[in-house]
Chains A and B, each alone.
Chain A
Amino acid sequence: EAQVTQNPRYLITVTGKKLTVTCSQNMNHEYMSWYRQDPGLGLRQIYYSMNVEVTDKGDVPEGYKVSRKEKRNFPLILESPSPNQTSLYFCASSLGSTTEAFFGQGTRLTVV
């Protein structure tokens, strides 16, 4: 089954404790991206990747890092999480930047 898998689905952590949210897709897609969803703001892109070893900042990259060492994986790293990063995070992949984006189930992160 074609899918985008994120882990964990839910995470509560403390300020400053480094964390990684994993994202994996099994569709051989080149384009992957991370979004955060906040009430009344829709989805805002954090980072995206056009291919292996190619990553670029989205609209709200501050406080986040990503890596794309393999085509299927695109982890999101928060080196020092802060409460304003409490949000619902979505990973998405697509064949290209304009084609249908497939979304993961989301990761609800709470930073206290």
Chain B
Amino acid sequence: GEDVEQSLFLSVREGDSSVINCTYTDSSSTYLYWYKQEPGAGLQLLTYIFSNMDMKQDQRLTVLLNKKDKHLSLRIADTQTGDSAIYFCAEYDTGRRALTFGSGTRLQVQP
């Protein structure tokens, strides 16, 4: 089956940049997503990228996609304490017509 992998934990200082990495296995993925989950809440879509793009920028967020290595990253510039959350990478599985999520990366921002 398809697999999406992320590191489990990242700690940064307020004001620094955060980079969360993700690898996936489905080479036919057409969409790749980043979701954010704050404590006690559901997931919220942060941003997404089409597989024919290699970069997407949205304010403090930059998504980089390396299709050859099947590597996706999310960079958060000027990280704030409010960015502390779990970040999930997800790919759209064309076969199952469903999202496959990674295990999530817990981002801790220290003041």
**Minimal beta-carbon separation of B30 from chain A (angstroms):** 7
Contact yes or no, B92 A41, CB < 8 A: no
Residues of chain B contacted by A59 (CB below 8 angstroms): 1, 96
- When the two chains form the complex, which single residue of B40, B43, B102 contacts A90, counting CB atoms closer than 8 Å? B43
Contact yes or no, A97 B43, CB < 8 A: no
Residues of chain A contacted by B48 (CB below 8 angstroms): 100
Residues of chain B contacted by A92 (CB below 8 angstroms): 42-43
Q: Which of B38-93 contact A (CB under 8 A)?
A: 40-45, 48, 88, 92
Q: Which of A57-102 contact B (CB under 8 A)?
A: 58-59, 90, 92, 97-98, 100-101
Known: A98-B30, A103-B44, A105-B41. A42 touches B98 (CB 8 A): no
Is B99 an interface residue, CB under 8 A from the partner?
Answer: yes
Is B24 an interface residue, CB under 8 A from the partner?
Answer: no
Inter-chain contact count A-B, CB under 8 Å?
52
Residues of chain A contacted by B104 (CB below 8 angstroms): 42
A90 to B97, CA, bound (A): 18
Known: A97-B97, A98-B92. A41 touches B103 (CB 8 A): yes
Contact yes or no, A45 B98, CB < 8 A: yes
A104 to B43, CA, bound (A): 8
Residues of chain A contacted by B40 (CB below 8 angstroms): 105-106
Per-residue A-contact encoding for B1-28, CB less than 8 Å = 1, 0 else: 1001000100000000000000000000
Measured CB to CB, the residues of A under 8 A from B are 4, 33, 35, 40-45, 48, 50, 58-59, 90, 92, 97-98, 100-101, 103-106
Question: Can you list 20 pairs linking A and B with CB atoms under 8 Å apart?
Answer: A4-B42, A42-B101, A43-B99, A44-B101, A45-B96, A58-B96, A58-B98, A59-B96, A92-B42, A92-B43, A97-B97, A98-B30, A101-B43, A101-B99, A103-B42, A103-B43, A103-B44, A105-B40, A105-B42, A106-B40
